[in-house]
Structure 1
Amino acid sequence: MLEPVDKIWMDGKLVPWAEANVHILTHSLHYGLAAFEGIRCYKGKSGSAIFRLQEHVDRLFDSAHIGMMEMPYDRKQISEAIVETVRANRLDACYIRPLVYIGYGAMGVHPGDNPIRVAVAAWRWGAYLGDEALANGMRARVSSFTRHHVNVSMTRGKISGYYVNSILAKREAKADGYDEAIMLDPEGYVAEGTGENIFIVRRGKIKTTPLTSILEGITRNSIIDMARERNISVTEERFTRDEMYLADEVFVTGTAAELTPVREIDNRRIGTGKPGPITLALQKAFFAIVRGEDPAHESWITRI
């Protein structure tokens, strides 16, 4: 259950949380065409900061462009709205959700000239997959649901309707007693989780799914850069589920999931069954960066 805060930014102004409403015939509610982002603000020793704000705003605009939704605001205005929302709610650490959606007007699959609306919400949110998973690793299963094909869903877009696929896979995994689902692409190679990118480590080298049928994760890109800075080999290459079983380490990344180790997949222990040394090193470095403790990556954070 979300813990309400004071304000949500809607179409250029802050409104009370309880009054941030839309009409029941809002087009995106019925047909799923909307673009969104997940962004985190972290509390550090010298104040709070938003992680990779500009990259998230750029991806929001890219997603809207893919969905043929013309943004009524520019990038600077949206960035300022995000910062304003965090400040207005006096949040030192939070999850931030910008949403671009098609408003009330015409119904039917074609939205006609319905207005494009924008909202920004923020709320307190801890570890997405739980503190236990973040510290000791999660249990995952390969889903019976297939991830998107590039000619079915344009996978560079973070589009709301695409996440029906994720919801079904997540429910299946949770019903079977797992923490998360791992999804394969239409050709049977490992794609991504329901909201995370996947990395495997074997013999000291990292491999991650290439940008074919997956979302280009901002945390994913950050981890790749961080690994290469430490002279750890990173290859973007397809891999199979059995190669994943044989990995020494597996971890997932995402704004919500941050960097979460995977200790077991399909009832097969991964490595020693505990987070491995590369996973732990990158996780520690990641949290130092987002909390503003790494001056080498100061450009990745926007201080509040």
Structure 2
Amino acid sequence: MTGAPAHDGPGERQPRGPAVAAVAYHDGAFVPLREAQVPVSTQALQYGTGVFEGIRAYVQRSTGEPAVFRAREHYERFLSGARTLHIDIGLDVKELVELTTELLRRSGLSEDTYIRPLAYKRSLMPGTPPGVQLRGVTDALSVIAFAMGSYTDRSGIRCAISSWRRPGADVLPVRAKATGGYLNSALAVDEARAGGYDDAILLNAAGNVAEASTSNVFAVVRDRLVTPPVTAGLLEGITRDTVIRLAEDFGVRCEFADLDRHDLSTADEVFLTGTGSEVVPVTEVAGRAVGAGVPGPLTTRLLDAYQKLVRGDDPRHADWLLPAG
């Protein structure tokens, strides 16, 4: 949901030393990145009261220029999450998309790029007493961009089942990319990597699969493509939706149904989806091989179709790509 570049990849890993755009959008203007600073008293830093998105721009094979992938859908989710936290940034989806393409034009980056918008609570308004709160606090928006190519491991990754549970929707707004909620993901990833795994799959309070640390989970179980429903406590990933629709293009209908540990241990295929990670085969879960222990045929087909799509080679979904030039 997956995502941290976003919903966005196993532990949301980034390449070492990515090239970062020298310009950012901050406090209503494009400014040099070094000037995009916040004070240590920022409320979102203290209490995790912010929402973010991870958005990719891919260099198109036909033009050599970047295009933003599903920008409108990302910003619709962004604004929905902001409303949940009573954050009003004063911009609509169209204005945010225009802001993003302008940032890319100013960035100087000519490769695949990751865009990170962040809306957050900043400082107490006059007369507001100190404390944890969402009202009586100013709102702010910052957007940065940095180079990030594909880091999908086509050979597959190994996932642990985390001892940390995914919070329910009655604990945190799990359908929003709220910054504070990602402490749960960080703890799960840390535990998994300490055990020699690449990523963690988290269960919900009912013991069913919610999602991976920053990615949504899919499984092929008895020839059925299955992913948990939103009621399992997951972020509705943009890449999740993309893959479901790509599968439909193949004539494969995705079922929304609960998955438990047994389903994962007996599945023919398991894969993760997220903005950062894209489509990631999972070849081992909790010490047990998935299927034959190699990426399965549907996973591989979807991975290839996704790469073709984001590079502008699939005319059926050309409207998902917005040229940034």
> Is 2:59 the partner of 1:43?
yes
What's the CA shift string for 1:229-276, capped at 9, x where partnerless? 211131000011111111111000000110000011111011111111
In structure 2, which of residues 269, 277, 293 is the aligned counterpart of residue 257 of structure 1? 277
> Is 2:158 the partner of 1:139?
yes
Alignment CA distance shift 1:86-1:268 (3 Å):
same
Shift of 1:112: 4.2
5+ residue gaps in structure 1?
none
Residue pair 2:57, 2:113 contacting (<8 A) in 1 also:
yes
Question: Equivalent residue for 2:292?
Answer: 272
Higher RCO, 1 vs 2 (CA within 8 Å, ≥6 residues apart): 2
Question: Equivalent residue for 1:66?
Answer: 84
In structure 1, which of residues 189, 197, 208 is the aligned counterpart of residue 227 of structure 2? 208
Q: Which moved more, 1:179-188 or 1:118-127?
A: 118-127
Residue pair 1:3, 1:123 contacting (<8 A) in 2 also:
yes
> Is 2:301 the partner of 1:281?
yes
SS of structure 2 residue aligned to 1:135: coil
Shift of 1:163: 0.3
* Aligned amino acid, residue 140 of structure 2: R
* Aligned amino acid, residue 18 of structure 1: R
Residue pair 1:209, 1:239 contacting (<8 A) in 2 also:
yes
Distance 1:243 1:259 in 2: 20
Distance 2:107 2:32 in 1: 10
5+ residue gaps in structure 2?
1-16
Question: Equivalent residue for 2:313?
Answer: 293
Question: Equivalent residue for 2:38?
Answer: 22
> Is 2:99 the partner of 1:81?
yes
* Aligned amino acid, residue 216 of structure 2: N
Distance 1:215 1:40 in 2: 17
Shift of 1:4: 3.0
Distance 1:111 1:254 in 2: 29
Residue pair 1:27, 1:111 contacting (<8 A) in 2 also:
no
SS of structure 1 residue aligned to 2:40: coil
> Is 2:113 the partner of 1:94?
yes
Alignment CA distance shift 1:153-1:112 (3 Å):
closer
Question: Equivalent residue for 2:138?
Answer: 115
In structure 2, which of residues 219, 237, 241 is the aligned counterpart of residue 221 of structure 1? 241
Residue pair 1:197, 1:217 contacting (<8 A) in 2 also:
yes
Distance 2:122 2:40 in 1: 10
How high is the sequence identity, in percent, across the aligned residues? 37
SS of structure 2 residue aligned to 1:104: strand
Distance 2:142 2:117 in 1: 6
Distance 1:257 1:223 in 2: 13
* Aligned amino acid, residue 167 of structure 2: H
Measured on the aligned residues, the alpha-carbon RMSD in Å equals: 1.3
Shift of 1:104: 2.2
SS of structure 2 residue aligned to 1:283: helix
Shift of 1:48: 1.6
What's the CA shift string for 1:182-212, capped at 9, x where partnerless? 0001110011011000000133320001011
SS of structure 1 residue aligned to 2:102: helix
Distance 1:104 1:150 in 2: 27
Residue pair 1:48, 1:291 contacting (<8 A) in 2 also:
no
Residue pair 1:72, 1:117 contacting (<8 A) in 2 also:
no
What's the CA shift string for 1:40-76, capped at 9, x where partnerless? 0111212321110000010000000111212322222
Distance 1:113 1:73 in 2: 20
Question: Equivalent residue for 2:14?
Answer: none
